[in-house]
Structure 1
Amino acid sequence: MATVHISQGSGFDLSVDLLVVGVYQGEVPEELDRRFKGAIREAVQRDEASFKWLNSWSSYSFGAVQARRVAVLGLGEKGSLGVREWKQVGGHIGQLANEAKAKSLAVMMPETSLAPEETAEFLTEGLLVGSWHFAGYKADPPQQSWQEATLAGWLASAEAGVRRGEIIARAQNFTRDLGFRPSNKLYPELLAQEAVKAGQSHGFSVEVFDENKLAELGMEALLGVGAGSAHPPRLVVMRYQGGGSRTLALVGKGITFDTGGISLKPPLGMEEMKYDMLGAGAVLGAMMAIADLKLPINVVGLMAVAQNMPSGTAYKPGDVVKAFNGKTIEVTNTDAEGRVALSDAVSYAAHLGVDWIVETSTLTGAVVVVLGHEATGLVATDDPLASLVLQASEASGERVWRLPIYPEYKKLYHSDVADMKNSPGRDAGTITAGMIISEFAGNVPYAHLDIAGTAWTPKGPLNNVKNGPTGVMVPTFVKLADMLSR
């Protein structure tokens, strides 16, 4: 497992495979250039090197420093780096280390506009997230190149930031690992087992409701979504007791594979539907990090877990199912299964007497049309909670954009035979999906985060790794829990 350390000494004196020195655009690392006898400045003058954003110059050290190789990394304009950018810098450094097949590296950075502890946290998170890769199922799996990184020339106080960055990054990578697993390796029972193991390792309790318990509780909605699969659904309830009288509920959609059911999806790209459990994965990853950080708040994490499969026992268009809180749903499209499954989880969260419910799911293709892969869509019934979610996402470097709720939208999911229908059509599709789920939150402040465009992306979580799960919302959830604990 890769680790990150702090050193108050100079990186020039560390015997590592790779030394990375950050420099702002228009500047040259003077001490390093002197050691290289002016070679760096000459490379800039000859246009052989440019220290614009994430551009780099590298060379063997030839004894100028203790490191075997040196890379000078452009940080763009001074003062332009925020949370997201420092994570990208860390991710890019991790990639440089992997490309150089470096086992050890040192990182030297100039003064930043953030506190040293914060910069260290985001650099560490970027290093560990940006260079991580899924081990896969090959007979000879690839190995991560670098194993140890040292942030050199930093104050000892930055150590706390490194530790926090490590915790969040490892939780995020755990979520990504779950997302990469194919559905024959991660069906509902196995995802529930992962939660049980995580609870034992990180210090929170886990209760798993099987199909018999779901039937006993009247959770027809989640049972309906999973009715077509050989692997029955599960509701996973995780509890972290950090203290105080307030409780945050985090709820995630855990469809371990989504064929669309009877309303079958087109075959092209259907293999990506193993990612439809990444909302639940984000909740599980966040619970791990929150427990490891020992945040002083009570958190309940709920995962609505099922496979949406077509079969003779599958739920069908026209069926009516009743959720835990007694409200009924007319199923007009079995491929709009997320909001159906989540109705039981959200109403159960409200039943537990929590103070806030924040739910995340890969819910609608419509959110990709609106926001692409750059931002998560937010639909919220409570302005103060929405504001906190936006602040938490900003502080975590994750982009979230709030969409409006207008009374006219509620008419779109009116049903003549039930309390609502699950698929009202294309108009305001992301908004109505969030509003439908909000119907099951009762009077509890509720926020929905649609991560269909951000849970897996063409370029990865830091725009520098290959396509795959990003672990999005883990950092935001951790930050939100931290903010609500104060």
Structure 2
Amino acid sequence: MEFSVKSGSPEKQRSACVVVGVFEPRRLSSVAEQLDKVSGGYLSNILRRGDLEGKAGQTLLLHNVPNILSERVLLVGCGKERELDERQYRKIIAKTISTLNDTGAMEAVCFLSELHVKGRDTYWKVRYAVEAAHEQLYTFDSLKSHREEPRRPLRKLIFNVPTRRELPVGEKAVSHGLAVARGIHTCKDAANMPPNICTPSYLAEQAEKLAEQYSNVTVERVTEAQMEELGMNAYLAVSRGSHNPAVMTLMHYQGGKTDDAPIVLIGKGLTFDSGGISIKPSDGMDEMKYDMGGAAGVLGAMHSLLELQLPVNVIGVLAGCENMPDGNAYRPGDIIRSMSGQTIEVLNTDAEGRMVLCDTLTYVERFNPETVVDVATLTGACVIALGPHATGLMSNHNPLAHELLNASEQSGDRAWRLPIWDEYQSLIDSPFADMQNIGGRPAGTITAACFLSRFAKKFHWAHLDIAGTAWRGGKDKGATGRPVPMLTQFLLGRANSETD
């Protein structure tokens, strides 16, 4: 879909539809008041009849409004004006898009971007309207025999800004919003793909397809044979039970100076996690195709980065693997020597993500990274702690943690920091090895991060546990595209500091 910005009066728009807001109780927004005045009170008369109260999400489509050049006017309920926050704004935009898509209006001029949203400016309102529009229109139907499509779908949406002086800001917001939206789309498509198609090799293929489109990114695969030579025994232990070989995919993006230390983004890519010998219950096991949500998130963030062409160096790592129970699978009780030389006692083969990530963290030391962020659907404990709304954030570097938290607030892709104090480390001590791969039920998210922290001592590192935020279950199940917005905002922040 095409997005753009302009600055103009609502009554002068030659468009299939003009979109304006109505607040509770039956009170026209300032832009809607302009239309009402030009139309001789047409809108206010309709409101007086009770056709629209103005509650958030209500809509009313009007045709042939007097003295208005647009074919249609869509009134959208925005709730109480003083309570209009970012969450409500996203809902309003989503409802607007779905309504427009059903009306047959193939293009529209939207004045909702002029609404006052608490603590948010024009850039934010336009950018997140673009993201919300893409979110609303996304479908995963590539594997369906018959696809249902609207007869006349929405093709073009123009957001109005209050003054011409704000047009450059609006254009920048559209550009950033589209980049994030495309990254989210890539993330969702990969994560929603079934595990018989989305294997570790498939992840590598998706990265290579992106590299074909952009000149300043190269992709390399690290195979099981290479991992064996490197001593990546923890990573390989997880893969042993699967017929699909593990593949670690590296995406090298060169946007900064040659000698600039890279930012490394690592995504856990368990394309299916049966639990291995510690097999999971069958109920809901189909959702374990989403255990590569971290890799999908990094792939999506790399796509956004390539769209934005930011002046930073970034290496995206997709740690692809599959955890299956066969006669060659690793067992509870095994002790494995990781690439770092540290030994791990396996107490539960379903704690496999940290086994893959620990060797990956050691592998990326060779790049002398400026920062490393790993992203993983790592622990069910994070879902219990934070539910589906916030990503768990843990870090060994306070400034990095604050950067990511700020990015999460700016992007609306929220995170919450949890501690990884030294007191928690004793929970993963082992009498037989340097550590064990689980620490028991208490503080499960934290002890998983403590495990990873033992392999991240040579750089500034943060861990994002997206187990509760990467996908939603139930009737409307599917990947959410998180944490692509947060990661992209983090990279935007880094790029801005480089430019400054």
Q: Same fold (TM over 0.5)?
A: yes
TM-aligned CA distance change 1:469 to 1:63, over 3 Å: farther
SS of residue in 1 equivalent to 2:379:
coil
Q: Which residue of 2 aligns with 1:240?
A: 253
**Distance in 1 between residues matched to 2:123 and 2:445, nearest whole Å:** 38
SS at the partner of 2:183?
helix
1:447 corresponds to which residue?
A: 462
Moved more, 52-61 or 285-294: 52-61
d(CA) in 2 for partners of 1:327, 1:70 = 66
Contact 2:127 2:173 in 1 (8 A): yes
For 1:161 and 1:275, the matched residues in 2 are separated by 30
Determine if the alignment matches structure 1 residue 122 to structure 2 residue 128.
yes
Map 1:466-481 onto structure 2 (within 5 A): 466-481=476-491
Task: Give the secondary structure class of the aligned counterpart of 2:251.
Answer: strand
| CA displacement 1:11-38 (0-9 Å, x = unmatched) | 5444544432134545302133346654
> Aligned AA for 2:318?
M
- Seen in structure 2, the aligned counterparts of structure 1 residues 97 and 458 have a Cα distance that, compared at 3 Å, is farther
Q: What is the CA-CA distance between 1:174 and the residue it aligns to?
A: 1.0
Q: Alpha-carbon deviations, 1:316-366, whole Å to 9, x = none?
A: 111222322222221111111111111111222233210211111111111
2:117 matched to 1:108? no
From 190, 210, 213, give the equivalent of 1:198.
Answer: 210
Aligned-pair CA distance for 1:211: 1.0
Distance 1:6-1:407 versus aligned 2 partners, 3 A rule = same
Does residue 344 of the first structure (1) align with residue 359 of the second (2)?
yes
TM-score with structure 1 setting the length: 0.92
Secondary structure, counterpart of 2:359 in structure 1: helix
**Distance apart, 1:47 and its partner CA:** 4.2
Range with greater deviation from structure 2 (50-59 or 342-351): 50-59
Q: Out of 143, 154, 170, which is 2:149 matched to?
A: 143
Superposed CA RMSD in Å reads 2.3
Q: What secondary structure, in the 3-state scheme, does the structure 1 residue paired with 2:317 have? A: strand
> Which residue does the alignment assign to 2:226?
213
Deviation at 1:390, TM superposition (A): 0.2
Any unmatched runs of 5+ in structure 2? Answer: none
Q: How many residues align?
A: 480
Partner of 1:462: none
Aligned ranges for residues 35-434 of structure 1 at < 5 Å?
A: 37-61=40-64, 65-78=68-81, 85-109=88-112, 110-112=114-116, 114-143=120-149, 145-152=153-160, 155=164, 156-157=167-168, 158-202=170-214, 203-244=216-257, 245-434=260-449
Contact persistence 1:134–1:180 (CA under 8 A): yes
Whichever residue aligns with residue 189 of structure 2, its letter is: D
Distance 2:68 2:77 in 1: 20
Change (3 A) 1:68 1:334: farther
TM-score relative to the length of structure 2? 0.90
Which residue identity does 1:252 align to in structure 2?
G
Distance change in 2, residues 1:373/1:101 (3 Å): farther
Q: Please say which of residues 234-243 and 199-208 is displaced more in the overlay.
A: 199-208
1: CA distance, partners of 2:372 / 2:444 = 21
Summarize deviations over 1:258-285 as a string: whole Å, max 9, x none: 1111111111111111111111111111
Instruction: Please tell me whether the aligned partners of residues 236 and 305 of structure 1 are also in contact (alpha carbons under 8 angstroms).
Output: yes
Aligned to 1:7: 6
Distance in 1 (CA, whole Å) between partners of 2:337 and 2:45 is: 72
In 1: Cα distance, 2:121 partner to 2:161 partner: 14
Distance 2:57 2:356 in 1: 43
Q: 1:34 to 1:438 in 2, by over 3 A?
A: same
Counterpart residue type for residue 457 of structure 1: R
Q: Tell me, yes or no, if the aligned pair for 1:10 and 1:153 is still in contact at 8 Å.
A: no
